[in-house]
Amino acid sequence: MEKGKGLARRWAIELAETSALSSSSSQFSGIPDPPGYNISLHDQDDSTIAGQKKDAEAAWKSQKAWEVAQAPFKNLVMMGFMMWMAGSTVHLFSIGITFSALWQPISALKGVGKVFEPYKDKRVDTLAPKLLFIALNLAGLGLGVWKLNTLGLLPTHPSDWVSSLSPAPEVEFSGGGLLIN
Amino acid sequence: MASRFCLGLLLLLLHSFISLAVYEDQIGLADWHQRYIGKTKQAIFHSHKTGRKRVVVSTEENAIASLDLRTGDIFWRHIFGENDSVNQVDIALGKYVITLSSEGSILRAWNLPDGQLVWESVLQFSAPSRSLLYVPTNIGMEKDSLIFAFGGGWLHAVSSIDGEKVWKKEFPAESLDIQQVFQQDHSDIIYAVGFLDSSHFVVYHISVKSGDVLKDSMSSLPNGFYGSMVLVSGGILVALDASRSTLFSINFAGSSMSIHEKYIADIVPKCSGTAEIVPSKLTGLFTLRIGACMVLFKVNNGGHIEIANTFSYPTIISDSISTTEGNQAFVVVQHAKKSVQITVKFVNDLINDALKEIVELEPHRGNVQKVFINNYVRTDRSNGFRVLLVMEDHSLILVQQGKIVWNREDGLASIIDSTTSELPIEKDGVSVAKVEHSLFEWLKGHMLKLKGSLLLATPDDIATIQEMRLKSSEKTKMIRDHNGFRMLIIVLTKAGKVFALHTGDGRVVWSLLLPSLCISKGCEYPSVLKLKLWKVPHHHAMDESPSVLAVIKCGHGFHESGVFFIIDSHTGKVRISQKLSHSILQVIPLPFTDSTEQRLHLVIDSNFDAHLYPRTAGTIDIFSREISNIYWYSVDSVEGIIKGHSLQSKCKSDMEDGYCFNTKELWSIIFPAHSEKLAAIATRKSNEVVHTQAKVIADQDVMYKYISKNLLFVATVAPKAAGEIGSVTPEEARLVAYLIDTVTGRILHRVTHQGAQGPVNAVVSENWVVYHYFNLRAHRYEMSVIEIYDQSRAGNKDIMKLVLGNHNLTSPISSYSRPEVAVKSQSYFFTHSVKVMTVTTTARGITSKQLLIGTIADQILALDKRYLDPRRTATPTQSEREEGIIPLTDSLPIIPQSYVTHSLQVEGLRGITTIPAKLESTTLVFAYGLDLFFTRIAPSRTYDSLTEDFNYVLLLITIVALVVAILVTWVLSEKKELRDKWR
């Protein structure tokens, strides 16, 4: 993906055209194109090229949006691996990992609008990718919280609520001891 | 997984080896150690030879010591066992110190220069008697020089070279009371004189060589004898008759005894009162105390008694010594208001004074109680005299040429109670110059330290650094510090003297002698009892100084009344002194203070009535509001009865007294005398702070501690097994431990250890008890721990309820609700026997605890409470390991590094007190016995402060360097950016 970035536009247009046209042609005639026939070669200088371009861009955007939405999944896997590596005892490494695991989804969720802004289009439905993105990030957050819990850092036990509870006052007082003499 | 395991193990290792050890160069930074010997009984000078001049003293604390005559420092010192009191001490052959101890049954010789034991002889003992030691003065280097020791009814002749018993002779002690053993003019006869059936006077002539009785002569007197007799000269003894009205002089030197008698009233008409012979060794003289008179009598060779001089009572007369000219000199010490008059006289010239000096003494030293004299030859060949004074406060003073050469505060060897007080807070307006000076010093010091830490310091520098650390002015200031390390330790000694010691260096800030003040209050024979905190100002009374309460009892009887002294802790001035109208059986500080922050105290008298102090209207209001919740208990260790009482309004005996309250017995626990004998009791410290009531155990579960201030631990042993270890078989021995609620008298827990016996030492803290005893079956000492948990609260495990605060954990507890308790306990072997045991206390009770164990070697061992955890198992689970539970072993480890006293010994260790510092991690420890020792320890290391040797300058330099680096790189980057823009 990274490698083809410079050529992305041309490559994207081509793919969009073929797919759009091939599908429309098959819709119009109901007959599949003959083998070796390529409509794109004929429509190179079509007047509808501008509209097609817009279409293509929208398709590219939506695809891109989906890609972005799926990106946290990889993160999730990596986090999971690192968490497993960190172990379940509380020390600097595990705490650092856990907090980054918590912080990443949260910061990602905060910037949800921004992440999908480049792909905003009237014709592109970004809601679904957004939802996927949010869901994946929430899953990441959940993983972080689960890790926090396994580290024992979540107040889910009675001990977390009473460990600093001062002793109850006593009603009675009694003093004394050995008698002098 | 492997990494997890490794990390877990690492954590465990970090937990388990918290070392307390100090480095060699840290000794003396936070700790101090003072050595004392106690009140001097006998002093022998050794100053004839060139070389070190010294005085050998034996003391009432069963110690002998050799002191430097120039400085009063201890050359060497030996402390005999508790039951091995020193009876007599002398110097033989000019190189051995001979001691007779244990009622005359053990004779030892110590090398004079270094105090090494040369030999020891255990003498035969049949019945307790007077113990006497006679070392012939003339013994030179001849081989068979003998020492004569009398004790336990036996006279022994012992070779002074190797302690071999040459001969022994029994004098049946039932009827015979041997009073003197002496030799006359280097003859071959030893005289043993005494009373037979208290109406006959006996003289035995004993052969020095064989111990055979060559001759015994007896004479009877119908009136009998009173007290002891004194040997006036070689052949003349003086005694008092039973009616104490007639003096007898007995001349037995010749072939027959001749007795002269004199009515005291005839020769001393001015003085009235009962007469008493003052024991002394004055050649040709003796002293008689008659009421308020001290009368010096002269006895001539014919046994004729005549009066020589009369002094008023508090006059002390020393034994006589022979001077170089062959004269006999003695010293008379007379008291003036603020000074003493020291007069040296020669026996043959009683009218003129050889020396007369007036020495000013501080009023807190009291009267002179004993005096010892020593002479030296001045450069002009005249006689000079040194006088050693033993004072009422047990201190020791050497006076020479009218000046005090040195003094030793040996009263501090017999501390009976201690408490602490805060120092005054820092006042505003510290001078600038002082700050600047200290800033310069501070910088200089830190530069040196920096050099040291960068390994650039020369040996000289290192020495300077070490000295600076030791003599830091910071620790000896007389103001409060943030960490709470600087405090005053206020101690009460057996002599009735109150001392305030600074925790920084252990110096005496002030001292006050109470008995002299008691006598002015009409309290005849004061005996000291207790020291309590009277007033600790906190909030609104910050500018007032704190005060302590010293309780003194007049006399030793059951119904004797007492005196209260309220002493300002900062200045040592008596604020209030009050003679009580009732007796004192118990002094109970209550957990209430009045509007001026004075603590309320209850004093229980012998009628079991309670008296409230301080007597103000405010206190009665506070008290009457709380009276229904105040109880008290009494433990009678002789009868084996523990009783609980409640308070009711108004005394029956004195209805007028609004501060007197009647008490009613509520419950009693009686230990049957034939099966149980009270061995030890222990309670929680009243000022102990507990951080939390919950104990979090493995898997995040919770147990609720049973925390009650009204918990009493009682240990009883079988009466047969109350004696020494090994006196009974394991079948006969038994130890029963009780946990008793002192409000209701409920026995919370009872456990029996079969085959165990005392001595029992116990310590109670938070919800646990640790006690130490001897296990006869295993032939080893054992320590047991009992932890008590509150089962009635165990159900509080619903998180929602806890989150919403919907629980009963903070509601007040009443003992009458009879909370259900669960007990966990475990026992371990312990190598040492224990003298005292206590536990560390910290300001908020968060820091983990350590037991401080005073071992038989007079050292203090710090033992983590984690070793005494009843939840220890042989194979703890992973989560238990993470919690810090140590795998169970059958004995408790003794880690040499965890001796708090490092290389020092606190001789005769009697008590350890722990004082919380303001810093949560740190506890101040004060141990007393014959010696004093103070240090501060951090059971979980100092997690809340930087260490003393932290290098601030290095930190400062690092910060400055970083800031400079940031600035430089910033400038460079700006320049580069500008250049890039121009391109």
Under DSSP, the state recorded for A118 is: G
User: How many A×B Cβ pairs under 8 Å?
Assistant: 150
* Model confidence at B493: pLDDT above 80: yes
Total number of domains constituting chain B: 1
Instruction: Identify the residue among A156, A163, A180 best suited for mutation to test binding to B, counting B beta carbons within 10 A and taking the highest.
Output: A180
Please check whether residue B375 is in contact with residue B383, taking contact to mean a CB–CB distance below 8 angstroms.
yes
Distance from B620 to chain A by nearest Cα, in Å? Answer: 17
Q: How far is A96 from chain B (nearest CA, A)?
A: 16
Distance CA B231, CA B234 (A): 7
Asked if the Cβ–Cβ distance from A166 to B810 is below 8 Å, we say yes
Distance from CA of B3 to the nearest CA of A (A): 8
- For chain B, what's the residue count? 983
Query: Three-state DSSP class for B645?
Result: strand
Using the predicted structure, report yes or no on whether residue B479 has a pLDDT greater than 50. Answer: yes
Report if residue B706 sits inside a domain.
no
Does B631 contact A88 at a Cβ distance shorter than 8 Å?
no
Residue A168: closest CA among chain B residues belongs to which residue?
B810
pLDDT tens, position by position, B588-630:
999 998 888 889 999 998 888 899 988 888 888 899 888 999 9
For residue B209, pLDDT over 80 is answered with yes
**For residue A130, what are the CA distances in angstroms to A68, A102, B381, B799?**
9, 19, 114, 36
Looking at the domain assignment, is residue B959 inside a domain?
Answer: yes
pLDDT in tens, B128-148: 888 888 887 764 555 567 888
Give the closest residue to B125 by CA, choosing from B170, B178, B176. Answer: B170
Confidence tier at B11 by pLDDT (50, 70, 90): very low
Of A85, A157, A177, the CB nearest to B700: A157
Residue A24's pLDDT is: 45
Q: Classify B719 as helix, strand or coil.
A: helix
Pairing of strands B96-101, B106-111: antiparallel
CA end-to-end span of chain B: 57
Band of residue B784 on the pLDDT scale cut at 50, 70, 90: very high
Supply the pLDDT for residue B935. 93
Bigger pLDDT: B160 vs B773: B773
DSSP state of B899: B
Question: Peptide bond before B812: cis, by omega within 30 degrees of 0?
Answer: no
CA distance B847 to B919: 10
Confidence class for position B5, pLDDT limits 50, 70, 90:
very low
Please tell me the predicted confidence (pLDDT) of residue B23.
77
Please give, rounded to a whole number of angstroms, the shortest distance from the CA of B688 to a CA of chain A: 12
User: pTM of whole model > 0.90?
Assistant: no
Q: What's the confidence (pLDDT) of residue B541? A: 60
Beta bridge partners of B169: B155
Q: Could you tell me the CA-to-CA distances from B648 to A73, B325, B613, B658 in Å, in that order?
A: 77, 76, 16, 12
- The answer to whether the CB atoms of B602 and A175 lie below 8 A apart is yes
pLDDT in tens, A117-147: 877 777 777 788 888 888 988 998 898 888 8
Q: How confident is the model at residue B14 (pLDDT cuts 50, 70, 90)?
A: very low
Nearest CB neighbour to B812, from listed A91, A152, A171: A171
CB atoms within 10 A of CB B852: 25
Residue B114, number of CB atoms within 10 A of its CB: 9
Helices marked H in A5-117: 8-29, 39-42, 49-86, 92-110, 112-116
Hey, are the CB atoms on B553 and A180 less than 8 Å from each other? yes
Please report which confidence band the pLDDT of residue B431 belongs to, taking 50, 70 and 90 as the band edges: very low
The type of residue at B244 is R
Interface of A with B (CB under 8 A): 85, 87-89, 91, 152, 155-181
Residues whose CB falls within 8 Å of the CB of residue B384, separated by 6 or more in sequence, listed in order: B375, B376, B377, B378, B400, B401
Residue B977 within any structural domain of the chain? yes
A170:B709 CB<8 A: yes
> Which residue on chain B is closest to A152 by alpha carbon?
B700
- Helix/strand/coil for B837: strand
pLDDT of B4 over the 50 cut: no
Residue B981 resides in a domain: yes
pLDDT tops 50 at residue B10: no
If residue B419 lies in a helix (H) or strand (E), which one and from where to where? Answer: strand B415-421
First-to-last C-alpha distance (Å) of chain A: 95
Q: Do residues B94 and B114 make contact, with C-beta atoms less than 8 angstroms apart?
A: no
Query: Which residues make beta-bridge pairs with B598?
Result: B535
Tell me, yes or no, whether B964 lies in a domain. yes
Percentage above 90 pLDDT, chain B: 31
Integer angstrom CA distances of residue B722 from B634, B669, B733, B770, B774 = 22, 20, 9, 20, 12
Q: What's B277-346 look like in SS3?
A: EECCCCCCEEEEEECCEEEEEEECCCCCEEEEEEEECCCEECCCEECCCCCEEEEEEEECCCEEEEEEEE
Of A158, A178, A180, the CB nearest to B702: A158
Q: What is the pLDDT of residues B46-105, one digit of tens each?
A: 876 666 788 999 999 899 999 998 898 999 999 988 888 898 998 888 888 999 988 888
Can you tell me the distance from the alpha carbon of B349 to that of B323, in angstroms, rounded to the nearest whole number? 14
Under the banding of pLDDT at 50, 70 and 90, the label for residue B276 is confident
How far CA B816 is from CA of A156, B348, B820, in Å, comes to: 34, 80, 11
Q: pLDDT by residue (tens digit) across B829-851?
A: 999 899 999 999 999 989 999 99
- Does residue B340 surpass a pLDDT of 60? yes
B960 part of a folded domain:
yes
Q: Is the pLDDT of residue B309 over 60?
A: yes
Query: Are residues A163 and B629, on separate chains, in Cβ contact within 8 Å?
Result: no
Query: In chain A, whose CA is at the least distance from the CA of B628?
Result: A172
In a domain, B971, yes or no: yes
Cα dihedral B440, B442, B443, B449 in deg (nearest 10): 150
What is the mean pLDDT of the segment spanning B331-335? 88
CA distance A167 to B845: 11
Task: Assess whether pLDDT exceeds 70 at residue B428.
Answer: no
Structure tokens at B512: 């006050």
Question: What residues make up the domain containing B962?
Answer: 955-983
Residues of A in contact with B637 (CB under 8 A): 178
Contact (Cβ atoms closer than 8 angstroms) between residue B610 and residue B630: no
- Are A152 and B700 a contacting pair at CB < 8 A? yes
E-strand ranges in B840-899 read 850-855, 860-864
Instruction: Quote the mean pLDDT of chain B.
Output: 85
Of B529, B797, B798, the CB nearest to A180: B529
Q: Is residue B970 part of a domain?
A: yes
Q: Give CA–CA dist B73/B52, Å, rounded.
A: 12
CA distance A22 to chain B (A): 53
pLDDT of residue A29: 56
Q: What is the pLDDT of residues B148-190, one digit of tens each?
A: 888 888 888 888 888 888 888 888 767 788 888 888 766 788 8
Q: Is the model more confident about B907 or about B243?
A: B907
Q: Do A164 and B798 touch (CB under 8 A)?
A: no
Nearest to B799 by CA among B701, B882, B933, B877: B701
Which pLDDT score, from 0 to 100, does residue B781 have? 94
Is the peptide bond between B614 and the residue preceding it cis, with omega within 30 degrees of 0? yes
Q: Which residue has the higher pLDDT, B980 or B198?
A: B980
A165 contacts in chain B (CB < 8 Å): 692-694, 809-810
What sign does the CA torsion over B564, B568, B569, B571 have? Answer: negative
Distance of alpha carbon B717 from alpha carbon B727, whole angstroms:
13
Does the structure show a pLDDT above 60 at B294?
yes
Contact B629 A89 (CB under 8 A): no
Confidence of residue A51 (pLDDT cuts 50, 70, 90): confident
Check B742 against A176: CB less than 8 A apart.
Answer: yes
Mean pLDDT for A71-81 is 87
Pick from B586, B796, B816: which is nearest to A176 by CB?
A: B586
Rounded to whole angstroms, the Cα distance separating A137 from A129 reads 12
